[in-house]
């Protein structure tokens, strides 16, 4: 047996701790000493030149999110994820394009009463939740 096949690059009995990383519903166990080779340093935040210190509140953060994502869009995406469907699969079920579904989930398009009633019929949810 050659020397190359005898020695494995990652030892199962490493002395460091193990990192468990989940990506797309798969969990990976990676020795910490191996993972340290791939650490990417985060950029340090730039200091603001303004002298006023405005406190960041939870309300201000969620207000920005509410403007970006509508409540109906978040509910629609939550329903899709709960059902375990991709955007394409979900869009086919409710008879819209994937692009329209994406726009509805991200608040760029309203859902509308007709589509909301399709969702109610297929998934058994109250259509009024999806109307704003």
> Helix, strand, coil shares of the chain as percentages rounded to 5?
50, 10, 40
- For residue 100, the model assigns a pLDDT of 95
Q: Which residue did the predictor score with more confidence, 10 or 47?
A: 47
Kindly list the domain boundaries of the chain, sorted by start residue: 58-130
How many Cα atoms sit within 13 Å of 67 on the Cβ side? Answer: 5
Q: What is the pLDDT of residues 101-126, one digit of tens each?
A: 999 998 889 999 999 999 999 999 99
CA distance 20 to 59: 33
Residue 75's nearest CA partner among 46, 49, 110 is 110
Compute how many other C-beta atoms are within 10 angstroms of the C-beta atom of residue 70: 20
CA distance 76 to 87: 11
Tokens of 102: 């994406």
Q: What is the pLDDT of residues 22-77, one digit of tens each?
A: 777 777 777 777 777 766 665 565 665 555 566 767 676 666 666 666 788 888 99
pTM of this prediction?
Answer: 0.51
Coil/strand/helix, residue 110: coil
**CATH code, residues 58-130:** 1.10.260.40
């Amino acid at each position: 047996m050659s020397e190359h096949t005898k020695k494995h690059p990652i030892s199962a009995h490493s002395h460091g701790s193990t990192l468990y990383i989940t990506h797309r519903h798969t969990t990976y166990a990676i020795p910490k000493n191996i993972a340290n080779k791939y650490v990417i340093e985060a950029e340090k935040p730039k200091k603001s030149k303004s002298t006023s210190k405005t406190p960041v509140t939870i309300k201000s953060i969620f207000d920005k999110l509410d403007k970006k994502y509508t409540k109906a869009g978040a509910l629609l995406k939550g329903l899709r994820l709960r059902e375990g469907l991709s955007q394409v699969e979900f869009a086919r079920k409710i008879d819209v394009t994937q692009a329209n579904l994406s726009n509805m989930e991200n608040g760029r398009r309203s859902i509308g009463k007709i589509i909301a009633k399709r969702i109610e019929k297929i998934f058994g949810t109250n259509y009024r939740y999806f109307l704003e």
